[in-house]
Amino acid sequence: MNWNLDPSVIYLNHGAFGACPLEIINEQRHWHQRLESSPLRFILREIDEKLYESKHALSRFIDTDTNGLALVPNATHGVNTILKSLDFKPGDEVLITNHIYPACRNVLFYILETKGIKIKEIELPLGEINSQLIINSVMEAVTPATRLVMLDHVTSPTALVFPVTEIVKELNRRGIESLIDGAHAPGSIPLSIKTINPTYYTGNCHKWMCLPKNCGFLWVREEARSKVVPLAISHAWGKETSFEKKFHWQGTADWSAALTLPYAIRFFEKQMPGGWDEWMERNHQMTIEARGVICNYLGLKPICSTSMLASMAVIPIAAKADPINLGYNTIDRIQEQLYQKYNIEVPLFQWTGAHQLLLRISSQQYNTLSQFHYLAESLDLIISNK
């Protein structure tokens, strides 16, 4: 397998935007060529069938039905779609945790400003986190005003696998809707939406499934589909139109990333004797070993058990945040030093629930343990000189 990564950079940040093998990029180029060689023929006569093939391949991979499955650009798009579709009333309560992805928190504050909802943020401190604590904390926060519980499946800022199946089961029993942000789940942990059975689930294919960018999905449970509206109303819109068709065409777009889904799923399945399960387990085991390397070298303690890890891990390090601006984004000065001086790409950030900087490592098949040893040594040099 050939990864299309700059060999001069040690890339330990797969969780941010993923990375795509050349074989998948070439498959995307094939679809680009088909589109641009005859745009009208492809869009008018061919693309519907091919997109349905992609949806069927994806539905098998995430274990769900295709009728409630829509292809969207990314999980943030999916979260926006649900939150902007729901008929919130002033005073309706939305429960989240302090581990929420910042962009999704922003959407909620937009809904607060426009519809007058209440946002209840549950504090889950890193030092004592475990699955039962998460379950208890979420369910104890539910009130008669709770309209929606919005949770990450694998958290972005803290890299924890949340026990969403257990929480959703109890929410369903109480008749409370759930929105699961699975941005980091597909391809990093075995995923069965049928088993979780949330009201809404959205995820990315460009991260741990390693597809090209601009490939995500949104799934909605049958009884909720009639109230979900695409962000863009287009040709397929109509009161009697099925959920699937409403999302099938939202204007001219580049669908080449989504069209690689059947090929990409088969491609990765063949890379190891145990298929996707072995692929994900290898990434998980390397994450555990890499966390151990860094913690041992820097004298730090893990924040959670290995059962709460997927293909990423977060480690609080003994340094104060020192943010610098890069365009619309803010990164820590240590992160920039690691990149500029040691050619290491890895995120460090100040999280709202921690008083220390958090280092988030990602493990993908192109990574080696020696890279994490080098990261630990480089971090130690930077921190000791501050």
Q: DSSP characters for 83-103?
A: HHHS---TT-EEEEETTS-HH
Structure tokens at 323: 């943010």
Cβ proximity of 175 and 146 under 8 Å: no
Tens digit of each residue's pLDDT (9 = 90 or more) over 174-224: 999 999 999 999 999 999 999 999 999 999 999 999 999 999 999 999 999
Phi then psi for 2, rounded to 5 degrees?
Answer: -115, 110
Residue whose C-alpha is closest to residue 13's, from 381, 341, 338, 378:
338
Is residue 162 exposed (0-12), middle (13-18) or buried (19+ Cβ within 10 Å)?
Answer: buried
Q: Are strands 200-204 and 177-182 parallel, antiparallel or unpaired?
A: parallel
Are 295 and 359 spatial neighbours (Cβ–Cβ below 8 Å)? no
- Rounded Cα gap, residues 69 and 367, in angstroms: 33
The HSE-up count of residue 311 (CA atoms within 13 Å, CB side) is 30
Spatial CB neighbours of 183, under 8 Å, sequence gap ≥ 6 = 74, 75, 76, 101, 152, 153, 154, 156, 202, 203, 204, 207
Q: State which amino acid sits at residue 361.
A: I
- Helix spans in the chain (H): 14-17, 22-37, 39-41, 47-62, 75-85, 102-115, 131-141, 164-174, 193-196, 243-246, 256-259, 261-269, 275-298, 333-342, 369-384
- Supply the pLDDT for residue 353: 63
Calpha distance 89→250 (Å, rounded)? 28
The CATH topology of domain 23-268 is Aspartate Aminotransferase; domain 2 (3.40.640)
pLDDT of residue 330: 76
CA 250 to chain CA centroid, Å, is 23
Segments of the chain scoring below 70 in pLDDT: 239-240, 321, 326-328, 353-355, 386
Question: Which CATH superfamily groups domain 10-20+275-384?
Answer: Aspartate Aminotransferase, domain 1 (3.90.1150.10)
Question: What is the C-alpha separation between 339 and 328, in angstroms, rounded?
Answer: 19
**Looking at this protein, which amino acid is placed at residue 270?**
K
Q: With beta carbons less than 8 A apart as the criterion, state whether 198 and 185 touch.
A: no
> Hey, is 263 helix, strand or coil?
helix
Residue 281 vs residues 74, 93, 116, 254: alpha-carbon distances, Å? 24, 38, 44, 33
* Residue 324 main-chain phi, psi, to 5 deg: -130, 155
Domain spans, the chain: 10-20+275-384, 23-268
Residue 354: predicted pLDDT: 63
197, 221 in Cβ contact below 8 A?
Answer: yes
- Closest C-alpha among 164, 171, 163, 182 to residue 147: 171
pLDDT at 241: 77
Nearby residues of 351 by Cβ (< 8 Å), 6 or more positions away: 157, 158, 358
**For position 1, what pLDDT does the model report?**
77
Over the stretch 279-325, which tens digit does the pLDDT of each residue have? 999 999 999 999 999 999 999 999 999 999 999 999 999 777 677 77
Q: Which of 290, 364, 55, 311 is nearest to 190 (CA)?
A: 311
